[in-house]
Amino acid sequence: MQIRTWSLLVFLGLAGSFSAAESAIAPLAAQAYTSRVNITLERQPNESFQTLTRRAETVARAAAQRSFDNDILVTQAAIVVTGEHIGLSAPILTLEVSRENWKNYPNAQRWSTYYPNSKALLRIDDPTPVAATPQAGERPEPTLGTGVIQSTLRWSTRDDLDLAVTDPSGQTVFYQNKKVASGGALDVDSNAGCQNTITNPVENVFWPDTGAPPGNYVVKVNLYQRCATRTGPIPFRLRLLVQGRTQELTGNVDDTNKTASFPLNLTAGGAAPGQTPANPGNNTPSGTGNPRQRPTSGTTNRNSPTNTPQSQISL
């Protein structure tokens, strides 16, 4: 009887030993977890809060991707990006996303919560935008007069070019005669006498909306004086607005051909700008015909622009 009892005890003891050994050898069950990452960004000199936020999105996205790539047990990523400025700190954003959602849409903005009040907490004053400054030698273009007729001359050198327009009665608007009886006026004159020269000069002659006499006009561009260049042609652009129709012309003046002439016609009963003339006649809408008509050349001087009409331009 004692032998049986001992055998039973031995058997039970061995069984207990085997059970303990099996428990020690069995691996622990793998458990999914959330990867939590805290990141601090120092504000860079003159960095705006918006730019700081974009940087926070970039580092948060990289941290989330790294969390999922480095450990297959990570099922959720929680990234907190904190900004620092002058010893102050405040959260910029928190990105929380599951592995499945990130796989389908790996976009930091989609899964982030933002803290716009942190701009004030960090005492970030965004830099004041600096207005674009004109290039050296340039000046903002003034407001130009317009109306039934407008002739605008532009060129890109410091030389002195002159714009002159002669009306059907023979009166000429130019720098020494800035207004004529028919209503024409020169309101902008640039680089006159090579004084206070600029590299984006403009000159403008116009007849107001109150009207202009019908008939033949002649627009002239004259090289009065070289102020910067010594030789070679000086290109220019001429914009003609007549009865609401616009034509862009180009040409050159130089020491041999100092004047380029552009005759045009204003029809009787012409409409106000933007309307169709009452009797179009031979008028050609802008953009048709020959929009780059070659200017004709002649000679003139600044004190008395001469009339040398060439082929007619009808707008």
Interatomic CA distance for residues 258 and 43, integer angstroms: 60
- Residue where a domain terminates, one of 102, 121, 140: 121
Q: Is 59 within 8 Å of 42 (Cβ atoms)?
A: no
């020269």: which residue's tokens? Answer: 197
Q: Mark whether 214 and 283 lie in a shared domain.
A: yes
Q: Mark whether 94 and 182 lie in a shared domain.
A: no
Q: Mark whether 181 and 98 lie in a shared domain.
A: no
Look at residue 25 in the predicted model and tell me its pLDDT. 56
Residue 191 forms part of a structural domain: yes
Count Cα neighbours of 204 within 13 Å in the Cβ-side half-sphere.
17
């405040």: which residue's tokens? Answer: 90
Q: Mark whether 92 and 206 lie in a shared domain.
A: no
Q: Is 193 within 8 Å of 160 (Cβ atoms)?
A: yes
Residue 163 forms part of a structural domain: yes
Residue 38 forms part of a structural domain: yes
Q: How many residues does the chain have?
A: 315
Q: Mark whether 158 and 225 lie in a shared domain.
A: yes
**What's the pLDDT band for 131 if we cut at 50, 70, 90?**
low
Q: Mark whether 209 and 270 lie in a shared domain.
A: yes
Task: Specify the DSSP element, H or E, that contains 120.
Answer: helix 118-121
Interatomic CA distance for residues 94 and 182, integer angstroms: 72
Q: Mark whether 80 and 156 lie in a shared domain.
A: no
| DSSP-derived 3-state class of residue 313 | strand
Beta strand residue intervals within the chain, DSSP E: 33-42, 74-85, 88-98, 112-114, 149-155, 160-166, 172-173, 185-188, 202-207, 215-225, 234-242, 245-253, 259-266, 296-298, 313-314
Q: Mark whether 309 and 162 lie in a shared domain.
A: yes
Residue 183 forms part of a structural domain: yes
Q: How many CB atoms lie within 10 A of CB 291?
A: 13
Q: Mark whether 178 and 260 lie in a shared domain.
A: yes
Residue 295 forms part of a structural domain: yes
Interatomic CA distance for residues 151 and 182, integer angstroms: 15
Look at residue 29 in the predicted model and tell me its pLDDT. 66
Residue 142 forms part of a structural domain: no
Comparing 29-33, 71-75, 105-109, 155-159, the range with the smallest average pLDDT is: 29-33
Residue 182 forms part of a structural domain: yes
Question: Residue 49 belongs to what domain range?
Answer: 33-121
Residue 128 forms part of a structural domain: no
Burial of 198 (0-12, 13-18, 19+ CB in 10 A): middle
Q: Mark whether 61 and 202 lie in a shared domain.
A: no
109-115-118 Cα angle (round to 5): 135
Residue percentage of the chain with pLDDT more than 90: 59
Look at residue 125 in the predicted model and tell me its pLDDT. 83
Interatomic CA distance for residues 271 and 292, integer angstroms: 25
Look at residue 45 in the predicted model and tell me its pLDDT. 87
Q: What is the mean pLDDT of the chain?
A: 79
List pLDDT tens digits, range 170-194: 999 999 999 999 999 999 999 999 9
- Residue where a domain terminates, one of 84, 101, 121: 121
List pLDDT tens digits, range 66-97: 999 999 999 999 999 999 999 999 999 999 99
Question: How many structural domains comprise the chain?
Answer: 2
Q: Is 250 within 8 Å of 236 (Cβ atoms)?
A: yes
Q: CA 77, 83, 89, 92: dihedral to nearest 10 degrees?
A: -60
Q: Mark whether 104 and 180 lie in a shared domain.
A: no
Q: Mark whether 66 and 171 lie in a shared domain.
A: no
User: Which one, of 115, 47, 120, 54, lies nearest residue 88 by Cα?
Assistant: 120
Interatomic CA distance for residues 195 and 159, integer angstroms: 10
